[in-house]
Amino acid sequence: MTAPGAGASGEDDLIARYFRPLATDPGAFGLVDDAALLKSSGDDLVVTTDAIVEGVHFLPDDPPGTIARKALRVNLSDLAAKGAAPAGFVLTLALREAKDEWLAPFARALGEDASAFGCPVLGGDTVSTPGPLMISITAFGRVPPGKMVRRAGARPGDRIAVTGTVGDAALGLRVLKGKIAGEGLDTSAREFLIQRYRVPQPRSALALAIRDHANAAMDVSDGLAGDLAKLCAASGVSAAIDLAAVPLSAAARVLVANRNADIETVVSGGDDYEVLCTVPENRWESFAAAARHANVDITSIGKVEAGTAAPRFLDATGQPITLKRLSYSHF
């Protein structure tokens, strides 16, 4: 990403107008270089990359500002789950056309989130595409050497916790697509679910607590059930989840109660961007206190078990429930 000099092109003008004002970090060089610089700090660098595609992760008529926030936040969510403090990001923006009425609110919202989460833009690339809009972001976070929280690391006996509420985004997408009539949902509940789809809330405030207390963690992006299975596989363990304990929002609870939504959609729908982590029993109280201090809701939903069987989801009577599908897949 380079800003204009005497050889300015349309692409350079676009970058100078919309993105250079965001490039306040010295390592961005005002976007007038080929590369950005992350100065050595003695910390390890956590690197995560997540792309969002029009028609897949957001809808063509979603507001540009919510698209920008989602693009950055899905990456901030990964950094939080790894216990890392944000250090900056680069983005690739594939655009059909460069329209001011889209780019101006996109860049403004991106700048606001970059500032709010302390994750400055460092550089990027802007390309034209005849296809759908796509934003790919690679974000960087810092952790003290050796302190990244991995998926591998869960141990039998650990409590399994999840932040916030699960399933809202998948339900919000169904509302947006007209697939849920939304009986019993008032306007604010509908708006709540839609907003949960459009603008995830990365749990950055919990990163330090996760680093201090969790044995394993990941962010829930493809659905709680499938992502838990991945965490267990990486750790070589199994798990039992109390389905009744899985935290649902009031709006989601209404839809499930009305049979407007089934439990698969809630636990396998994806796009939650909550943190799933496992915490040893003897650290649970400290972790819960740190979460309260960080003002992030956490809920204990089950236990890690020995073995390599697929995680079990138990109903209120302790009977396992078979989920028809575990997570969202692109292919």
Alpha helices in 236-319 (DSSP H): 250-257, 263-268, 284-294
Question: Residue 60, interface with a second copy (CB under 8 A)?
Answer: no
Question: Residue 241, interface with a second copy (CB under 8 A)?
Answer: no
Site for a second copy in 6-25 (CB under 8 A): 6-7, 9-14
Which is closer to a second copy, CB of 148 or CB of 199?
148
Question: Residue 305, interface with a second copy (CB under 8 A)?
Answer: no
Question: Residue 240, interface with a second copy (CB under 8 A)?
Answer: no
Site for a second copy in 104-163 (CB under 8 A): 122-132, 134, 136, 138, 140-141, 145, 148, 150-152
Compute the radius of gyration of the chain from its Cα atoms: 21
Question: Residue 26, interface with a second copy (CB under 8 A)?
Answer: no
Rounded to 5 degrees, φ, ψ at 315 are: -80, -175
User: How many residues sit in the footprint of a second copy (CB under 8 A)?
Assistant: 93
Stretch that binds a second copy, among 3-11, 16-24, 61-69, 161-169 (CB under 8 A): 3-11
Strand partners, 91: 124, 137
d(CA 245, CA 51): 31
Q: Are 235 and 160 in contact, with CB atoms under 8 Å apart?
A: no
Question: Residue 225, interface with a second copy (CB under 8 A)?
Answer: yes
Least distance to a second copy, CB of residue 47, Å: 5
Q: Out of 33, 242, 264, 305, which residue is the one contacting a second copy (CB under 8 A)? A: 33
- 10 Å CB burial of residue 223 (0-12, 13-18, 19+) is buried
Q: Which distant-in-sequence residues (6+ apart) come within 8 Å of 22 by Cβ?
A: 107, 110, 111, 114, 120, 121
Question: Residue 272, interface with a second copy (CB under 8 A)?
Answer: no
Rounded to 5 degrees, φ, ψ at 193 are: -65, -40
Least distance to a second copy, CB of residue 310, Å: 4
Question: Residue 314, interface with a second copy (CB under 8 A)?
Answer: no
Least distance to a second copy, CB of residue 171, Å: 20
Question: Residue 167, interface with a second copy (CB under 8 A)?
Answer: no
Q: Out of 78, 158, 271, 272, which residue is the one contacting a second copy (CB under 8 A)? A: 78
Element (DSSP H or E) covering residue 126: strand 121-128
Least distance to a second copy, CB of residue 83, Å: 10
Q: Cα 127 from chain centroid? A: 25
* Strands across the sheet containing 298-305: 216-220, 274-279, 159-163, 298-305, 238-242, 312-314, 320-321
Question: Residue 331, interface with a second copy (CB under 8 A)?
Answer: yes
Stretch that binds a second copy, among 88-96, 198-206, 278-286, 299-307 (CB under 8 A): 88-96
**CA neighbor of 124 nearest in space, from 138, 105, 103:** 138
Least distance to a second copy, CB of residue 70, Å: 13
Least distance to a second copy, CB of residue 258, Å: 28
